[in-house]
Amino acid sequence: MAETILQLTDIRKSYAIGTPAETEVLHGVDLQLDSGDFVALMGPSGSGKSTLLNIIGLLDRPTSGKLYVQGRDTSSMDDGEITRLRGHSIGFVFQYHHLITAFTALENVMMPMLLDRGRASAAMQARALELLRKVGLEPWANNKADRLSGGQQQRVAVARALAQQPPLILADEPTGNLDSKSADSVFELMRDVCRESGGAFLLVTHSLALAQRCDRIIELVDGRVVQEGRD
């Protein structure tokens, strides 16, 4: 039976609260992701996608509503608890890879583990090499990030997102800067990782063609979920 990885209940987000300029951007969003889900989030510019993604990624807090990660209610957590939960339970892949170009592919993948544990170990290196093998880049492990192609850099970014074995991966336009061949390769890689890991993926994309290859499409318009479809 699938485990519920993420659950949002009546999530609302307002800015400039208590002033004449107060604006509610998210209007009671409900959303659930279970283990193995590979879901696309779509919506026009200004629909609230970035705000919703920041809340799901625990980078911002909702004004009201409940957000649960693997059954844990985040509304009662302090900032330190939120930071620890984010570091262990959520992986991020962005449109731009955000690799440290002076570091090797291996060092970039190790970075989340180093930030969490403070010092490198043989186990960390083995884990990073395993992930680079999984994304087809073990032969390039010792190459500096700026010596890799765009598609290879994004594969390193996917491997880095998996370093802490998070149950939830958030991918924000992860193929937006890639040519069509590299984009297809990275997309299929993420699908394969989702199948193997049993985690949940939420993919933000403007591409309907890409979204239609996901298990489900969630459409956000004016801060509300207006459509949720499953193949």
**pLDDT digit string (tens) for 88-97?**
899 888 777 7
What is the mean pLDDT of the segment spanning 31-53? 91
- Whether 27 shows a pLDDT value over 60: the answer reads yes
| Res 25: pLDDT | 94
| pLDDT band, very low/low/confident/very high, at 57 (cuts 50, 70, 90) | very high
Tally of structural domains, the chain? 1
Q: How far is residue 158's CA from residue 172's CA, in Å, rounded to a whole number?
A: 12
Q: Which residue has the higher pLDDT, 4 or 118?
A: 4
| pLDDT band, very low/low/confident/very high, at 141 (cuts 50, 70, 90) | very high
| pLDDT band, very low/low/confident/very high, at 230 (cuts 50, 70, 90) | low
Three-state DSSP state, 70: coil
| Res 23: pLDDT | 92
| Res 188: pLDDT | 83
CATH code of the domain in which 175 resides: 3.40.50.300
Domain of residue 124 covers 4-230
| Res 38: pLDDT | 93
Reduced to 3 DSSP states, what percent helix, strand and coil does the chain have, rounded to the nearest 5?
A: 40, 30, 35
What is the mean pLDDT of the segment spanning 121-143? 89
| Res 151: pLDDT | 85
- Token pair 């609230």 is found at 48
- Whether 231 shows a pLDDT value over 60: the answer reads no
What is the mean pLDDT of the segment spanning 160-188? 83
Contact in structure between 128 and 105 (CB atoms under 8 Å): no
| Res 229: pLDDT | 61
